[in-house]
């Protein structure tokens, strides 16, 4: 009976009894999810319906906002159900599905930010050749390249973790993650560890190398260019850098949480660190880009005014 239970479900051990406050927590988390979903969806609609925003930069932004919806939807519905539950269990299929969505979200986010930095590099360093270099066909190929490898690579993770024989079923987090499931295994996990480290390294360091290279070239042009060039670089690169730093800090928090023993840390701190990269980027990215990019800001204002009127 014990082995059957271990194979059929997992227990999320980071939850605590909220008592009568569970409804307050549920309301706060639900409000957060509604805001994230609504703001990202609004910007996707704005970019899609406005022809003046059918430019490479905004197409990559649209891809970013779609990924924010994808990542937050992989977390929040489960989170809301668990907050109201007395027994914090999740079935194995749903747990593996959440592993796939969370990890593919992170990989897509890094790749999308790398492609956006490459687009800014061409716009600032090669302005006269930009339209020739960044065609609509190339934009489509880059977006496909952003989404396809993470989905494929993380799909291949499932055959490695699903057959593992587990000695326990308690995951000390508020959602399922690959590393925690692998730590529960009684069988040999060498292949899982090698594959996981390789995929993590490629998912993080590959995009970061592209981002660092493009920004080195952008800085070089800014220092030797005109004041107008510097202003253009600042206006378009500031929200991208803020988004990159925000997500990178969250990813670092998650890696520290997964790879090192933090049981001595307060429970609320561990929950916050594990949720940061899944909640803060989807929350702040629409605000950063919506407020900093004038085309999006004006279009959003006109659309909301039109709906209200």
Q: Domain residues of the chain, as ranges?
A: 2-308
How many angstroms separate the CA atoms of 40 and 49, rounded?
14
Cα(149)–Cα(199) distance, integer angstroms: 11
pLDDT at residue 260 in the model: 66
* Topology of the domain comprising 2-308: Rhopdopsin 7-helix transmembrane proteins (1.20.1070)
> Which is more confident, 87 or 304?
87
Cβ count within 10 A of residue 145 = 11
Distance CA 48, CA 61 (A): 11
Q: Across all residues in the chain, what is the average pLDDT?
A: 85
Residue 63 — very low, low, confident or very high, per pLDDT cuts 50/70/90?
very high
The count of other CB atoms within 10 Å of the CB of residue 192 is: 19
Q: pTM to 2 decimals?
A: 0.89
Strand order, beta sheet including 9-12: 89-91, 9-12, 170-171
Distance CA 243, CA 277 (A): 11
Write down the pLDDT at residue 87.
Answer: 83
Residue 99 pLDDT grade (very low, low, confident, very high; cuts 50, 70, 90): very high
pLDDT of residue 166: 85
Residue 268 has pLDDT above 60, yes or no: yes
Give the dihedral sign, CA 97/99/103/105.
positive
> Is the per-residue pLDDT at 263 higher than 70?
no
**Predicted confidence band of residue 7 (pLDDT cuts 50, 70, 90):** low
| pLDDT at residue number 261 | 63
% of the chain with per-residue pLDDT over 70: 94
What average pLDDT does range 120-125 have in this prediction? 89
């Amino acid at each position: 009976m014990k082995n059957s239970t271990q194979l059929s479900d997992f227990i999320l051990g980071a939850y605590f009894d909220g008592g009568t406050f569970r409804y307050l927590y549920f309301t706060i988390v639900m409000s957060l999810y509604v805001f994230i979903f609504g703001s990202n969806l609004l910007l996707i609609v704005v970019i899609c319906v406005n022809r003046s925003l059918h430019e490479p930069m905004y197409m990559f932004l649209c891809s970013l906002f779609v990924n924010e919806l994808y990542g937050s939807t992989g977390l929040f519905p489960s989170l809301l159900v668990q907050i109201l539950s007395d027994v914090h269990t999740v079935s194995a299929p749903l747990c593996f599905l959440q592993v796939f969505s969370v990890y593919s979200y992170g990989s897509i986010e890094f790749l999308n930010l790398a492609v956006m930095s490459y687009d800014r590099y061409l716009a600032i360093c090669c302005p006269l050749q930009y339209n020739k270099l960044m065609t609509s066909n190339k934009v489509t190929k880059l977006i496909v390249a952003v989404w396809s490898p993470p989905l494929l690579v993380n799909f291949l993770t499932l055959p490695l973790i699903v057959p593992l024989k587990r000695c326990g079923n308690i995951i000390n987090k508020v959602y399922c993650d690959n590393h925690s499931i692998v730590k529960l295994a009684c069988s040999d996990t060498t292949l899982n560890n090698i594959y996981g480290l390789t995929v993590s390294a490629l998912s993080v360091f590959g995009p970061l190398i592209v981002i660092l290279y493009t920004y080195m070239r952008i800085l070089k042009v800014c220092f030797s260019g005109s004041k107008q060039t510097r202003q253009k670089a600042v206006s378009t690169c500031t929200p991208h850098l803020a988004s990159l730093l925000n997500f990178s800090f969250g990813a670092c928090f998650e890696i520290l949480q997964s790879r090192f023993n933090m049981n001595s840390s307060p429970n609320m701190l561990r929950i916050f660190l594990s949720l940061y990269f899944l909640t803060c980027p989807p929350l702040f990215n629409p605000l950063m880009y919506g407020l900093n990019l004038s085309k999006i800001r004006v279009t959003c204002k006109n659309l909301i005014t039109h709906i209200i009127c």
